């Protein structure tokens, strides 16, 4: 019997790719999603890749009865908790929406896990907790900074909650993965990122501009202290990120009770905005319409991950290059255009 892993938010961008990686590793994903920021078509794409329709429960992680039903119905061996809101800008306008969904769902999930004696949890955290790191690359010991947004604050608070829970002798075994910048799509183009409205992230903005959905890309500032003056990020292919979740779950299974650790997931390399644009142009074979605009307040100038810890503990290394990621993101945009 395959071990069942609950993926909250499993219809979303990272969750759907992680479901593929779980199936490839011999697990059975059980998806819980209320489709508030995702589409049911993601389940069709996922089914096409894995060759069967996965178990999908449509429901809200903030509803106690929904979680109890899942745990009563299925023998869940571990959980990956993706379900959350992630729009930084919106979180400044609607902080309570973010505190309720992102923190409320984690607290309820932990309470219900304890009730059903389910121990293992992988949590989606973010490099946003580092703010502008004073020393690069950012290691897991790099001090966290005051959050720039309610969204970022939910990730800090959730990390603190997880730490406290594992100190309380309740038996939980938990890893927080601090993602750097997930990009790309499954190489089959069956699933990918589906941004809501105007994309806040660079790569979907690039692909939407290239396909003609947006007129032009504005690069926010080219006078920073970086190789070409534009901001630097660590872009990680979503399938590499998915693989990190599977390895984290397998690692947790070998740990003693009351375990907590934090791992960065990035490539260990930083790329400037203009490097991403140029690499995209090469991969897509098109010139991108872009202009240099003023700096955007609140932007981190440069951040990239130290991957020493995740490589040492999980044996994880990224398999995809920036070119691969941008090619897959572009193929996904081309596929969307045919819908």
Ligand X SMILES: NC(=O)c1ccc[n+]([C@@H]2O[C@H](COP(=O)([O-])OP(=O)(O)OC[C@H]3O[C@@H](n4cnc5c(N)ncnc54)[C@H](O)[C@@H]3O)[C@@H](O)[C@H]2O)c1
> Applying CB under 6 A, does 121 fall inside the site for ligand X?
no
> Applying CB under 6 A, does 251 fall inside the site for ligand X?
no
**Closest separation in Å from C-beta 15 to ligand X:** 5
**Closest separation in Å from C-beta 83 to ligand X:** 4
Residues 201-230 close enough to bind ligand X by CB under 6 A: none
> Applying CB under 6 A, does 107 fall inside the site for ligand X?
no
21: number of Cβ within 10 Å: 21
> Applying CB under 6 A, does 84 fall inside the site for ligand X?
yes
What does the block give as tokens for 114?
Answer: 């304890």
Among 13-21, 164-172, 297-305, 319-327, the segment contacting ligand X (CB under 6 A): 13-21
Count of residues near ligand X by CB under 6 A = 27
- Burial label for 316, CB within 10 Å (0-12, 13-18, 19+), is buried
Residues 156-185 close enough to bind ligand X by CB under 6 A: 179, 182
Helices 202-211 and 273-284 cross at an angle (nearest 10°) of 40
260 is catalytic: no
- Burial label for 209, CB within 10 Å (0-12, 13-18, 19+), is buried
**One of 5, 23, 30, 34 touching ligand X (CB under 6 A):** 34
Q: How far from 65 is each of 69, 71, 79, 117, 153, CA to CA, in Å? A: 6, 10, 17, 17, 27
User: Which one, 61 or 284, has the nearer CB to ligand X?
Assistant: 61
- DSSP secondary structure string for all residues of 105-172: HHHHHHHHHHHTT--EEEEEEEGGGG-S-SSSSBPTTSPP---SSHHHHHHHHHHHHHHHHHHTTS--
> Applying CB under 6 A, does 126 fall inside the site for ligand X?
yes
User: Which one, 64 or 294, has the nearer CB to ligand X?
Assistant: 64
Q: Which residue has the tokens 């809200």?
A: 60
**Closest separation in Å from C-beta 191 to ligand X:** 10
Which one from 13, 130, 151, 235 is the annotated catalytic residue?
151
> Applying CB under 6 A, does 83 fall inside the site for ligand X?
yes
User: Which one, 35 or 163, has the nearer CB to ligand X?
Assistant: 35
Contact 91, 150 (CB under 8 A): yes
**One of 5, 6, 7, 11 touching ligand X (CB under 6 A):** 11
User: What's the angle, vertex CA 230, arms to CA 95 and CA 199, rounded to 5?
Assistant: 40
**Closest separation in Å from C-beta 129 to ligand X:** 10
> Applying CB under 6 A, does 234 fall inside the site for ligand X?
no
User: What's the angle, vertex CA 133, arms to CA 128 and CA 139, rounded to 5?
Assistant: 85
> Applying CB under 6 A, does 37 fall inside the site for ligand X?
yes
> Applying CB under 6 A, does 150 fall inside the site for ligand X?
no
User: Distance between CA atoms of 103 and 101, rounded to whole angstroms?
Assistant: 6
Assign residue 294 a region: left if phi > 0, alpha if psi is -120 to 50, beta otherwise?
beta
**Closest separation in Å from C-beta 2 to ligand X:** 23
**One of 86, 233, 245, 247 touching ligand X (CB under 6 A):** 86
Give the residue closest to ligand X by C-beta.
12
- Between the CA atoms of 175, 3, 18 and 64, what dihedral angle is there, to the nearest 10 degrees? -70
> Applying CB under 6 A, does 61 fall inside the site for ligand X?
yes
Spatial CB neighbours of 223, under 8 Å, sequence gap ≥ 6 = 229, 295
Which residues sit opposite 5 in a β-bridge? 29, 78
**Closest separation in Å from C-beta 223 to ligand X:** 26
> Applying CB under 6 A, does 45 fall inside the site for ligand X?
no
User: Which stretches of the chain bind ligand X, using CB under 6 A?
Assistant: 8-9, 11-15, 32-38, 60-62, 82-84, 86, 101, 105, 124, 126, 179, 182
Residues that are catalytic: 151
């Amino acid at each position: 019997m395959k071990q069942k892993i609950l993926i909250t938010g499993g219809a979303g961008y990272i969750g759907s790719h992680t479901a593929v990686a779980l199936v490839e590793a011999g697990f059975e994903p059980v998806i819980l999603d209320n489709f508030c920021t995702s589409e049911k078509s993601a389940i069709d794409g996922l089914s096409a890749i894995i060759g069967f329709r996965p178990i999908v429960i449509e429901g809200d992680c903030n509803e106690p009865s929904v979680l109890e039903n899942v745990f009563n119905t299925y023998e869940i061996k571990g959980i990956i908790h993706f379900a959350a809101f992630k729009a930084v800008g919106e979180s400044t306008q609607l902080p309570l929406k973010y505190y309720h969904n992102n923190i409320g769902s984690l607290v309820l999930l932990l309470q219900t896990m304890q009730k059903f004696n389910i121990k293992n949890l992988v949590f989606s955290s973010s490099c946003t907790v580092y703010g502008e790191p004073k020393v690069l690359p950012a290691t897991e010991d790099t001090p966290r900074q005051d959050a720039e947004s309610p969204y970022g604050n939910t990730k800090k608070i959730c990390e603190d909650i997880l730490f406290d829970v594992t100190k309380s002798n309740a038996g939980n075994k938990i890893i927080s993965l601090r993602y750097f910048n997930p990009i790309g799509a499954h190489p089959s183009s069956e699933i990918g990122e589906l941004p809501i409205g105007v994309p806040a992230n660079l790569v979907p903005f690039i692909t939407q501009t290239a396909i003609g959905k947006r007129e032009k890309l504005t690069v926010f500032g080219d006078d920073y202290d970086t190789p070409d003056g534009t901001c630097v990020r660590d872009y990680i292919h979503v399938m590499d990120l998915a693989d990190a979740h599977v390895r984290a779950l397998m690692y947790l299974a070998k740990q003693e009770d009351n375990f907590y650790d934090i791992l960065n997931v990035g490539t260990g390399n930083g790329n400037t905005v203009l490097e991403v644009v140029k690499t995209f142009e090469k991969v897509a074979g098109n010139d991108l319409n872009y202009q240099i605009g003023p700096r955007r307040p609140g932007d981190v100038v440069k951040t990239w991950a130290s991957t020493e810890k995740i490589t040492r503990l999980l044996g994880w290394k990224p398999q995809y290059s920036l070119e691969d990621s941008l090619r897959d993101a572009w193929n996904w945009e081309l596929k969307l255009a045919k819908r």
